[in-house]
Structure 1
Amino acid sequence: MKEENNFNIFIIGIGNENRKDDAIGIKVISVLEKMALSGVQLIKIQDDITDLLNLWANARLVILIDAVIS
């Protein structure tokens, strides 16, 4: 995880198509990966989100992308 903490900006996409989720967070990260953004760590989370706080401990900015249907 030390390598990930060298990034200033984290963009985290959350979702899981296998759980009847729209998975928009995962889809957005897939698009952003093609852009090769400098200084940005792109992360896809499909299941367990308990390690999120450790991932972004030293980040300057964290952006979470998710969707909820209610």
Structure 2
Amino acid sequence: MPVWDEVLRLTHWAVVLLLGLCWFSAEQGEMAWHQTFAYLLLAVLLTRLSWGLYRSGTARLRTLF
């Protein structure tokens, strides 16, 4: 039985992927892509925050404290 649900796993892997893409696009000087990846990262982080506030079980942020 998995401890975390699919949305939680997806958002965590999306953060890893988007941080890598932000770093790579900045190194290559592709600032338009860098900005796009950064906005996507913000959307993923806001999704994770809202999921942690309103979801029950292990996805809740309250379980961290």
TM over 0.5: no
Larger radius of gyration: 2
Question: When the two structures are superposed, what TM-score results if normalisation uses the length of structure 1?
Answer: 0.33
* Higher RCO (C-alpha 8 Å, min separation 6): 1
Q: TM-score, normalization: structure 2?
A: 0.34
Query: Which structure has greater strand proportion?
Result: 1
More helix by share: 2
